[in-house]
Amino acid sequence: MTYQEILKELKNKIYKPIYFLFGEESYFIDKITDYISDNVLNEGEKSFNQIILYGKDSQIEDIINNAKRFPMMANHQVLIVKEAQNLKHIEKLAFYAEQPLKSTILVFNYKYKKLDKRTKLYKLLNKTAVLFESKKLYENQIPAWINSYLKEKKYTATPVSTQLLTDFLGTDLSKITNELDKLMISLPEGTSITPEHIEKNIGISKDFNNFELQNALINRDVLKANRIIQHFARNPKDNPIVVTIITLFSFFSKILNYHFLSDKNKNNVASVLKVNPYFVKDYVKAAQIYNTRKTVAVISLLREYDMKTKGYNNVSTSHEDLLKELIFKILH
């Protein structure tokens, strides 16, 4: 089941006896758990029928014994096991999973780890439980996810805004939603979020960021590129060189892919490069400026300077000076 399907069933009061939530992305695990915790029982029922345990402080036998209890003056008992990845002998859950108590809703938060699909436990949970793997989103999926999240809240955002947020906040969904929620508090419902809103309310500069540096390179705007890297040098914590190199490596790798595309139709380019169609024009222009040979050379430079930031063939050059050197070599 998908995250959306699980929430839809929960909202329709369709409950399963076991929810085993595992994987690298904690956001979806927390949201499902919070919904169950907040909505299955009313406040009066929670006193006797909702228990929260922690894996590092619990034994699997005690969890199973609690799960076998019947609810008191309620239709369900909710038992949530947080940090379940710290549980020892999790495989013993298989005995309970064979015939779980239907009046108990047993939730496992098994974060940052995977359950071995070859085990008896996995196979049983796949039959009798909701077995949900919460996967990390790739960076190219984040802008669409931001749009979806905002749509649920009755907001929209420009393509540049979603890309700006992605470049600055990365793929941490909890961090992204926290910043978006703060932003929406200050804006009326129905607002289309712009870079100006982001700069004012989140503190991301709309003029001095990796997205604008990328644009400066596309346009061979030496002055603008130098202004941006000078800003980065004054604010190194907010603009680490490693993020800049990763961003530029991704960009130039896509330019290289574009060069070898036989079908350069806008929709095909967007699909293959996994970018918003709005930004295809940027890749078309960049490919005109950076031919295949130059693009390969830039990618090689990015790899070289990534190693230098880690101290390889570099004893004393600061990150600030490394970035200046790198941008100079890309532009000339």
Give alpha helix (H) positions in the chain: 3-11, 26-39, 43-49, 60-67, 93-97, 120-128, 142-152, 159-169, 173-185, 195-201, 210-218, 222-234, 241-259, 266-273, 280-289, 292-309, 319-331
Q: What are phi and psi of 77, to 5 degrees?
A: -115, 135
Torsion of CA 270, 276, 281, 286, to 10 degrees: -80
Distance CA 26, CA 172 (A): 9
pLDDT of 204 above 90: no
Predicted local confidence at residue 105, as pLDDT: 97
pLDDT of 316 above 90: no
Percent of the chain with pLDDT over 70: 100
Torsion of CA 319, 163, 170, 286, to 10 degrees: -50
pLDDT of 55 above 90: yes
Predicted local confidence at residue 205, as pLDDT: 84
- For 251-303, the pLDDT digits (tens) are 999 999 999 999 999 999 999 999 999 999 999 999 999 999 999 999 999 99
Predicted local confidence at residue 170, as pLDDT: 86
Which run of H or E residues covers position 53? Answer: strand 50-54
SS3 74: coil
Distance CA 152, CA 148 (A): 6
Q: Please state which of the ranges 35-49, 161-175, 282-296 shows the lowest mean pLDDT.
A: 161-175
Check if the beta carbon of residue 286 is closer than 8 Å to that of residue 332. Answer: no
Predicted local confidence at residue 120, as pLDDT: 93
Q: Give me the domains of the chain, ranges plus CATH numbers.
A: 3-133 (3.40.50.300), 139-201 (1.10.8.60), 210-331 (1.20.272.10)
Distance CA 237, CA 241 (A): 9
* Average of per-residue pLDDT values in the chain: 94
Predicted local confidence at residue 300, as pLDDT: 96
pLDDT of 98 above 90: yes
The mean pLDDT value for 86-104 works out to 94
